[in-house]
Amino acid sequence: VIFFLIGLLSLPLASSFVHHAGPCFQQRYASAPCRMTADAEEATIRTPSTSDSAKGLDLPSYNDVVEAAQILEGIAHKTPVQTSRLLNEELGVDVFFKCENLQRMGAFKFRGGFNALSHLTDSQRQAGVLTFSSGNHAQAIALSARLLNCQATIIMPHDAPKLKVQATQGYGGNVIFYDRYGEDRQLIAQDLQERQGMVFVPPYDQKYVIAGQGTSGKELLETLASNEYNNTSLDYLLVCVGGGGLISGCALAAHSLSPNCKVIGVEPEAGNDAQQSMAQGKIVTIATPPTIADGAQTQYIGKLTFAIMQDKVDRIVTVSDDELVREMKFFGERMKMIVEPTGCLGLAGLRKLVSTGDIPAGSKCGVIISGGNVDLERYCELVVG
Amino acid sequence: LDTRRKHSSIMTRNNKSNGKYCIDFSDVEAAAGRIEGIAHRTPVLTCASLNQQAGGRSILFKVEAMQRTGSFKFRGAVNAVRSITTQQQDTDTKLQFVTHSSGNHAQALALAAKTANCHATIVMPNNTPLVKKAAVQDFGATIVMVESTNEAREEKAEEIRQETNATFVHPSEDPRVIAGQGTVCLELVQQVKELPSTPALSAVIIPVGGGGLAAGNCVTLRALLGSNVRIVLAEPSKLDDAYRSFQAGQLLKHAPDNTLDSCADGLKTTLGPNTWPIIRDLADDIITVDECDILRATKFAWERLKVCIEPSAGVGLAVVCYSETFREKYPVEQYPNIGVVLCGGNVDVLKTADKMKAMGIV
C-alpha cells in the first residue's frame, strides 16, 4: 500500500525529477547524449515528502535487520569471510572480506530484494512487483519474485547490456523495454502501478531493502565474534556507496553489534554525491558520473539512507577508476575471485586510508565485497590495462 | 568396469600393517593435524545456475582455488615439509628441500618451506613462463633452470639433493604429499555435514593428473563413506593416461606421440607406482572430456560462481555438466548430491579468455 501511495504521490513530482542534458557516461554501448537520467543504473522514484528533514521517515532499526536475517535464513547464502595473508602483510592491518560476490545472483542486492518482497501481502504479490534498473537490483528482484511465486516486471532501456537482460529474464523477470531518448520510464512505471496495481520496489531507499542489505554486515560481525576468529572486533568497516542501501544497513548492524567500529563509505571520485551530501548536510544530486563502477552511478542517495548515514557513518572517501582496476586484478590473481568494479570500492578505500595513515597499523578492518557481476569480455577489457 | 569389485578392497581405518598402499587413512588424519592453521580450510560453495546446467543436480564445490598458493598442492607440500621438520634435531642449519616442477607444486613447496623456516630449491625447465618463476621466487625459493626434458629435470634435482642433503619431494608420488592432498575431502565431508538439510555426498568428482589428489582422496572417501560414495575421476581426453590405465587394468603412460596439448596444464603428469594402485582399486570410474567442454565449464565457473579457476579445475565441472557418459552412468535421480573439487586457480585469465573466444565459446 505504501509503495502504491508513493507511486501516486510522485505524479506531481515527476516534473521535478531531474533531467540532465549534461554529460552521460558513454559505456560499452554507444549512446547519443541523453536527455534523461536513464544511465543511472540505480535510480528510484523520489519518496515524496513535504520537507527534506528526517521527520516522518520510516527508518529501519537493527531489529529490522535481525528480522531480515530470519527471513533470509536458508535462502540467501551465508557467504564466506575471506582473508589474505599477503594483503595483511602489505598493508599492516588485518582485513576481513565479506564475499557478497558469492551471494545468490552475484551480489548483496538479493538480500534486500528478497526481504522487501517477503513483506508484501498476498494480494500485493499477486498484483506483481515492478522496478527499473539494468543492474543488480533488477536481477535481485527477478530472482526473489520467482522464489516467492510472484511476477516481476523490470523496465529496462533498449540498449541495456544483453547479459543483464538475459540474466534478468533468466530469473523469470518480465522485461519491458523503453527508448531512453524518447520515452519516460517514470510514466511507464506509474501507468503499470495505476492500471495493474503493481508494487514498486526501490533499489535502496526502502526500510526492508536496507534491513536486508544490513544482514551482510551482521553476518560478518557475528562470524568475526565467533571462536573461529578468536572473537575479533572490527575497528573499521569499509562499504561501497551507491544509493546508500548497503552502507546504511551495515551501519545499523555495526552500531548494535560493534559500537566502536567506524563505518566508512567509499565512492568513485566522479560520483561522490554521498560525500558531498554528508558535507553539506543535505542530499546533493549530481549528473550520472563517468566511472567503471556501474553499481555506484546513482545520482543521489536516498532519504532514508542519508538519514542513517548522517547518524552512523564516520565519513566517505573516494577512489579513482585506476584504483578499482588495481583491486580487480588483486582479487583475481591473489584471491581467485571475480569482483566487479563497484565491488572493489571497499578495498580501494581501505588501501588509500592506510597509505594516508588515517587507518593505523594493526587495525582490524572489515570490507564488504558487494558483487561479482561483470561479464568476461568486460573483465578482460578492464584488467588488461 | 564392475564397480562391485571395489567394495572388496575398501580401506579400513587402520590397515597400516596391510601395507597394500603407500598410505592409509591414519596418514591423512596425521596430515590434517600438521597442516592445521597453515593451510586454509577452504569454503564449500553452491551455485543454483550451475546446478541447473548440471541437469538439476546439487553440486557442492570444494574451492581449492582459494587455497594458499592457489591450489590444493600446498597441503601435500606442507605435510611433507612438516613431517621432516618435526624430526629435526639440529635447529641451526636450515633444512633443504628440492623438487622439479614448473607448476603449482613448485609454488606450494616454496611457500611450505618458507613458512617452516626452511629453504627450497626448485628445478624448472627453461621454457617456464616468467610469471611462474616470479611466483616461486616471491616465496623465497631458489630456482635452477634446466633443459625441458624429464631426464634433465630429474638429474639436476638428484644432484641438488646430494649436494645440499635436501629432501626430495615428488609432486604426486611422495606418500606424504598424497596424504596431505587427502585432507581435501576430509574437510569436504565434514563441511557437508555442517550444512543444514544437506544429505551426504553420493558422488565426488576429482581431476586427475599425477594422481596425488585423486589417490589421497580415494583413501579418505572410502574410509569415511565406504561404498556409499562413487569416486569419479575427471581427465582431459588429450591427457588420458589415467583413463587408459583404468580401462586396461595396468599402468600406462602417455602415448609417445602425444603432444600434451591441453588447456589443463596442471594435469600433464602421469600416474605412478604409488598413486596408480590406489586409484585402480578405490576409484569407481574415470571419465574424459574434451578441450571445448573444459573451457566452457571454466568460463561458466568464472561468470556464475565468481571464482577464478584454472582449466584443470574446469575438467571436473565439465564432466558433471557436459559428459553424456556421466549422465547415463550416474543419473540425477540416483546421484543428486555430488561434490566437485575445484583444484586450483592459477590461470592467466586474459590468455585463457582468448582461447575460449577462439573456440567460439560465448
For B58-79, what is each residue's pLDDT tens digit?
999 999 999 999 999 999 999 9
Q: What pLDDT sits at residue B10?
A: 42
Chain-centre distance of CA A133, in angstroms? 12
Average pLDDT over residues A155-171: 86
Contacts of A80 in chain B (CB under 8 A): 43, 45
Comparing A164 with A311, the larger pLDDT belongs to A311
Q: What pLDDT sits at residue B18?
A: 56
Does A379 sit within 8 Å of B308, measured CB to CB? no
Whether A173 has its CB under 8 Å from any CB of chain B: the answer is no
Calpha distance B100→B143 (Å, rounded): 10
Chain-centre distance of CA B341, in angstroms? 8
Chain-centre distance of CA A277, in angstroms? 17
Confidence of residue A54 (pLDDT cuts 50, 70, 90): low
Q: What pLDDT sits at residue A17?
A: 31
Amino acid at A98: K
Q: What share of chain B is helix, strand, coil (3-state, %, to 5)?
A: 50, 15, 35
Calpha distance A340→A356 (Å, rounded): 25
B138/chain A closest Cα distance in angstroms: 11
First-to-last C-alpha distance (Å) of chain B: 36
Lowest mean pLDDT of A45-59, A246-260, B211-225, name the range: A45-59
Calpha distance B165→B176 (Å, rounded): 19
Is residue A26 predicted with pLDDT exceeding 60?
Answer: no
Whether A88 has its CB under 8 Å from any CB of chain B: the answer is no
Q: Shortest CA distance to A229 belongs to which of A96, A47, A374?
A: A96
Q: What pLDDT sits at residue A1?
A: 55
Whether B272 has its CB under 8 Å from any CB of chain A: the answer is no
Confidence of residue B362 (pLDDT cuts 50, 70, 90): confident
Chain segment A11-23, per-residue pLDDT in tens: 443 333 323 323 3
Nearest by CB: B306 against A82, A170, A338? A338
Comparing B100 with B6, the larger pLDDT belongs to B100
Whether A74 has its CB under 8 Å from any CB of chain B: the answer is yes
**Residue B151 neighbours by CB under 8 Å, 6+ apart:** none
Does B356 sit within 8 Å of A104, measured CB to CB? no
Q: Shortest CA distance to A12 belongs to which of A218, A190, A198, A233?
A: A190
B246/chain A closest Cα distance in angstroms: 33
Does A339 sit within 8 Å of B308, measured CB to CB? no
Comparing B122 with B15, the larger pLDDT belongs to B122
A276/chain B closest Cα distance in angstroms: 33
Confidence of residue A55 (pLDDT cuts 50, 70, 90): low
A241/chain B closest Cα distance in angstroms: 21
Average pLDDT over residues A241-246: 97
Amino acid at B155: E
Widest Cα–Cα separation across chain B: 60
Average pLDDT, chain A: 87
Whether A181 has its CB under 8 Å from any CB of chain B: the answer is no
Q: Pick the catalytic residue: B101, B102, B172, B202? A: B102
Does B65 sit within 8 Å of A336, measured CB to CB? yes
Stretch 164-203 of chain B: residues touching chain A, C-beta under 8 Å = 196-197
Is residue A29 predicted with pLDDT exceeding 60?
Answer: no
Q: Is the CB of residue A174 less than 8 Å from the CB of residue A188?
A: no
Whether B46 has its CB under 8 Å from any CB of chain A: the answer is yes
Nearest by CB: A336 against B49, B197, B308? B308
Q: What count of CB pairs under 8 Å joins A to B?
A: 55
Antiparallel, parallel or unpaired: β B96-100 and B167-168 = parallel
Calpha distance B361→B354 (Å, rounded): 10
Question: Quick one: which H or E segment has residue B290?
Answer: none
Q: What pLDDT sits at residue A43?
A: 37
Confidence of residue A371 (pLDDT cuts 50, 70, 90): very high
Chain segment B320-341, per-residue pLDDT in tens: 999 999 999 999 999 999 999 9
Is residue B284 predicted with pLDDT exceeding 70?
Answer: yes
Average pLDDT, chain B: 92
Whether A32 has its CB under 8 Å from any CB of chain B: the answer is no
Q: Is the CB of residue A281 less than 8 Å from the CB of residue A35?
A: no
Question: Quick one: which H or E segment has residue B120?
Answer: strand B119-125
Average pLDDT over residues A336-340: 97
Average pLDDT over residues A171-177: 94
Whether B362 has its CB under 8 Å from any CB of chain A: the answer is no
| Catalytic residue flag (residue B102) | yes
Contacts of B350 in chain A (CB under 8 A): 380, 383-384
Q: What pLDDT sits at residue B89?
A: 62
Average pLDDT over residues A205-220: 98
Residue of chain B minimizing CA distance to A375: B303
Whether B52 has its CB under 8 Å from any CB of chain A: the answer is no
Lowest mean pLDDT of A113-117, A176-180, B206-210, B281-285, name the range: A176-180
Confidence of residue B7 (pLDDT cuts 50, 70, 90): very low
Residue A158 three-state SS:
coil
Is residue A53 predicted with pLDDT exceeding 50?
Answer: no
Q: What pLDDT sits at residue B14?
A: 38
The grid coordinates listed for B86 are 618435526
Chain segment B154-204, per-residue pLDDT in tens: 999 999 999 999 999 999 999 999 999 999 999 999 999 999 889 999 999
Does A376 sit within 8 Å of B306, measured CB to CB? no
ipTM of predicted complex = 0.90
Per cent of chain A over pLDDT 90 is: 76
pTM to 2 decimal places = 0.88
**What pairs with residue A152 in β-bridges?**
A129
Lowest mean pLDDT of A183-187, A234-238, A334-338, B259-263, name the range: A183-187
Is residue A98 predicted with pLDDT exceeding 70?
Answer: yes
Lowest mean pLDDT of A190-204, A349-363, B82-96, B132-146, name the range: B82-96
Q: Shortest CA distance to A202 belongs to which of A248, A245, A147, A148?
A: A245
Is residue B40 predicted with pLDDT exceeding 90?
Answer: yes
Average pLDDT over residues A107-126: 96
Q: What pLDDT sits at residue B93?
A: 82
Does B356 sit within 8 Å of A380, measured CB to CB? no
List, as own/partner pairs, every contact residues B146-150 make where C-beta atoms lie below 8 angstroms and the sequence separation is at least 24, other chains included.
B149/B125
Contacts of A377 in chain B (CB under 8 A): 353
Average pLDDT over residues A103-132: 96
Q: Pick the catalytic residue: B6, B62, B73, B156? A: B73
Whether B356 has its CB under 8 Å from any CB of chain A: the answer is yes
Whether A385 has its CB under 8 Å from any CB of chain B: the answer is no
Q: Which residues of A are catalytic?
A: 109, 134
Average pLDDT over residues A352-369: 98
A93/chain B closest Cα distance in angstroms: 19
A279/chain B closest Cα distance in angstroms: 36
